[in-house]
């Protein structure tokens, strides 16, 4: 038995005897052996909670989140961050981290929610004026540069920090963007805010601001027409990504509805099926790797088979829905076409980054599997779930087949094995595993909705629509809100 396994067993024995302090000491020793294993930090945080030591629990959870993030287990990192927020609800660094992770996953809408929450918390705290806040604001603007709601709120934060020029420059950029095909109401709102700041700026400072409004500055966006009268502002056109029109009651001093500014740089891809997997964090008594299971088990077979996990270097482009070609925005100059050598250089850099990322994930996976005992079924299940999130489905199947030997984990393990086979475009093997799980659930009384749903996906992939409909109906009669089951039933209602 390895040293790590011995330490873990010793720690668990202490926990069973109620000797929590001694268990903590064993976990500390264990972390000297497996210092990069986020599961251990997560478990240690839970143990600290048993002693009501929230400070040490939060510290352990932060390390768990950081190590999950390092190996691109973003959903696990998010789940642990949510555990922290349940302990310290308005912890700014954690709220910022949640937005940062969502931005790395290319989930711009969810990132915006967390970043706006972060901004509101900063403004509500008169003591929050340090350099750390300024850096985080700058980082947020770099992560979601084209989000109008973020830019508008950032100007409020700059005012709160006493950075009047930064606030004015931000508003000038918003005015420039809304001066061409923008919303007249929102344009007037930004102008009224800038007029208040104008009186607090020096002449040379406001000259810089006016340059941005006229389209001559870095923040100028689309530029032009900042000083036009409100009734001369062009009517808002159908620019993709533009924020929604403000309500009739919008007046200066009220925040207009947040939205996305006209796209200038390539837009982030839309959130795909299964992308919003986090539903409330990690149970304090369990391992966070299991939180991802419920969403993964319901991903459509076609999507699961062909989609890859979001990566930090994947950037999508907006395209016309009919032609598939990238959509050009009116009034925006197209970027200079890259030369073949530039294209090749960029491609090689991206491939190198991807290889390095995948190598670090594989090394991490090898590290945390090396000391897992054959009969440690819970660890094998958690590893299987981690492999699924990494996209290593064959490895996941091996771990989940071991965990399926446990009566307590058999049902969910078989369901996830079926999911893996769907993701590997092998619906026939998926059916065999899922049918086996369904037989067990019928005798044990376990939850079978995920099994039925995935069987529906598998039979749909096999083009056996009668059986697919049969399993979808089993889900629909129990819970019409389960995943996209309503849409599935509508689709099948049109099939004769």
Phi, psi of 36 (to 5 degrees): -105, 5
Query: Which residues are paired to 147 by β-bridges?
Result: 260
Q: DSSP letter for 290, please.
A: G
What separation, in Å, do the N-terminal and C-terminal C-alpha atoms of the chain show?
61
Alpha-carbon distance of 109 to 125, in angstroms, equals 25
> What are the pLDDT digits (tens) for 394-412?
989 999 999 999 888 899 9
Alpha-carbon distance of 425 to 423, in angstroms, equals 5
> What are the pLDDT digits (tens) for 75-112?
889 999 999 999 998 899 999 999 999 998 888 889 99
Neighbouring residues of 47: CB distance < 8 A, sequence distance ≥ 6: 15, 20, 23, 24, 27
pLDDT at 2: 72
CA angle 72, 73, 78 (to 5 degrees): 115
pLDDT range class, residue 52, cuts 50, 70, 90: very high
Q: Is the pTM of this model over 0.75?
A: no
Instruction: Select from 372, 423, 376 the least CA-distant residue to 397.
Output: 423
Residue 350 has pLDDT above 70, yes or no: no
The Cβ-side half-sphere exposure at 303, using a 13 Å CA radius, reads 13
Q: What percent of the chain has pLDDT over 90?
A: 37
Alpha-carbon distance of 403 to 220, in angstroms, equals 57
Say which residue, 492 or 310, is predicted with more confidence: 492
Strand, helix or coil for residue 319: strand
Q: DSSP states of 239-272 as a string?
A: -TTPPPPPPTT--TTSPPPP-BPPP-SPPPPPP-
Alpha-carbon distance of 345 to 3, in angstroms, equals 46
Do residues 220 and 212 touch, judged by C-beta distance below 8 A? yes
Say which residue, 241 or 4, is predicted with more confidence: 4
Q: What percent of the chain has pLDDT over 70?
A: 67
Residue range 128-156: average pLDDT?
Answer: 88
> What are the pLDDT digits (tens) for 307-322?
333 333 332 333 333 3
Distances (CA, A) of 489 to 225, 422, 458, 483: 51, 20, 16, 12
The most confident of the ranges 3-7, 32-36, 180-184 is: 32-36
Strand, helix or coil for residue 448: coil
Among the ranges given (107-116, 455-464, 485-494), the one the predictor scored with the smallest mean pLDDT: 485-494
pLDDT range class, residue 331, cuts 50, 70, 90: very low
Query: Which residues are paired to 326 by β-bridges?
Result: 319
pLDDT at 365: 58
pLDDT range class, residue 483, cuts 50, 70, 90: confident
pLDDT range class, residue 346, cuts 50, 70, 90: low
Instruction: Select from 328, 299, 282, 322 the least CA-distant residue to 415.
Output: 299
Question: What tokens were used for 386?
Answer: 């981690």
Among the ranges given (2-6, 156-160, 167-171, 334-338), the one the predictor scored with the smallest mean pLDDT: 334-338
Distances (CA, A) of 55 to 28, 128, 283: 16, 21, 18
Alpha-carbon distance of 222 to 438, in angstroms, equals 58
- Alpha-helix runs per DSSP H in 269-375: 293-296, 301-306, 340-369
pLDDT at 179: 85
Q: By 3-state DSSP, what share of the chain in percent is helix, strand and coil, each rounded to 5?
A: 60, 0, 35
CA-based Rg of the chain, rounded to a whole angstrom? Answer: 26
Residue 420 has pLDDT above 90, yes or no: yes
Q: Is 253 left (phi over 0), alpha (psi -120 to 50) or beta?
A: left
pLDDT at 284: 34
Neighbouring residues of 435: CB distance < 8 A, sequence distance ≥ 6: 455
> What are the pLDDT digits (tens) for 235-274?
333 222 333 333 333 333 344 444 333 332 323 333 333 3
Residue range 415-442: average pLDDT?
Answer: 93
Strand, helix or coil for residue 147: strand
pLDDT range class, residue 120, cuts 50, 70, 90: very high
> What are the pLDDT digits (tens) for 215-224?
755 443 333 3
Alpha-carbon distance of 384 to 209, in angstroms, equals 55
Residue 29 has pLDDT above 90, yes or no: yes
Give the torsion sign (CA, 400, 406, 409, 415): positive
Do residues 76 and 292 touch, judged by C-beta distance below 8 A? yes
What's the gap between Cα 57 and its chain centre?
Answer: 23
Alpha-carbon distance of 245 to 250, in angstroms, equals 10
Average of per-residue pLDDT values in the chain: 73
Provide the Cα torsion 385, 390, 392, 398; round to 10°: -20
Say which residue, 340 or 29, is predicted with more confidence: 29
């Amino acid at each position: 038995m390895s040293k790590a396994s011995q330490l873990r067993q010793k720690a668990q024995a202490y926990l069973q005897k109620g000797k929590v302090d001694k268990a903590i000491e064993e976990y500390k020793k264990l972390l000297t052996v497996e210092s990069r294993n986020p599961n251990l930090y997560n478990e240690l945080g839970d143990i600290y909670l048993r002693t009501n030591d929230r400070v040490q629990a939060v510290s352990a959870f932060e390390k768990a989140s950081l190590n999950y993030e390092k190996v691109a287990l973003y959903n696990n990192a998010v789940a642990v961050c949510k555990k922290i927020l349940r302990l310290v609800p308005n912890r700014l660094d954690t709220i910022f981290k949640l937005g940062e992770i969502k931005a790395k996953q290319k989930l711009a809408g969810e990132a915006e929610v967390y970043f706006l929450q972060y901004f509101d918390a900063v403004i509500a705290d008169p003591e929050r004026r340090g350099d750390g806040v300024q850096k985080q604001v700058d980082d947020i603007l770099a992560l979601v540069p084209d989000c109008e709601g973020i830019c508008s709120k950032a100007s409020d934060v700059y005012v709160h920090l006493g950075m009047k020029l930064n606030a004015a420059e931000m508003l000038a950029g918003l005015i420039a963007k809304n001066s061409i095909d923008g919303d007249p109401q929102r344009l007037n709102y930004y102008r009224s805010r800038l007029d208040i700041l104008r009186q607090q700026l020096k002449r040379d400072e406001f000259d810089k601001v006016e340059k941005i409004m006229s389209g001559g500055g870095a923040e100028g966006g689309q530029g032009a027409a900042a000083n036009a009268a409100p009734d001369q502002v062009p009517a808002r056109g159908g620019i993709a990504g533009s924020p929604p029109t403000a309500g009739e009651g919008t007046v200066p001093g009220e925040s207009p509805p947040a939205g996305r500014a006209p796209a200038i740089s390539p837009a982030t891809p839309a959130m795909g099926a299964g992308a919003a997997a986090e539903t409330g964090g990690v149970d304090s008594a369990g391992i966070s790797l299991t939180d991802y299971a419920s969403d993964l088990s319901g991903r459509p077979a076609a999507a699961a088979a062909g989609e890859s996990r979001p990566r930090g270097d994947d950037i999508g482009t907006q395209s016309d829905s009919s032609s598939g070609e990238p959509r050009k925005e009116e009034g925006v100059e197209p970027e200079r076409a890259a030369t073949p050598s530039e294209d090749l250089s960029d491609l090689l850099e991206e491939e190198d980054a991807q290889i390095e990322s995948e190598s670090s994930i594989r090394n991490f996976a090898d590290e945390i599997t090396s000391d897992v005992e054959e009969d440690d079924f819970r660890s094998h299940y958690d590893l299987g779930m981690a492999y699924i999130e990494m996209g290593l489905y064959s490895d996941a199947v091996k771990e989940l087949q071991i965990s399926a030997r446990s009566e307590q984990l058999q049902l969910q393990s078989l369901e996830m094995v079926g999911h893996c086979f769907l993701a590997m475009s092998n619906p026939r093997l998926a059916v065999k595993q899922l049918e086996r799980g369904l037989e067990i659930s019928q005798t044990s009384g376990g939850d079978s909705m995920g099994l039925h749903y995935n069987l529906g996906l598998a039979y749909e992939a096999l083009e056996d629509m009668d059986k697919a409909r049969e399993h979808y109906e089993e889900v629909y009669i129990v819970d019409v809100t389960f995943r996209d089951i309503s849409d599935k039933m509508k689709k099948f209602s049109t099939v004769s």
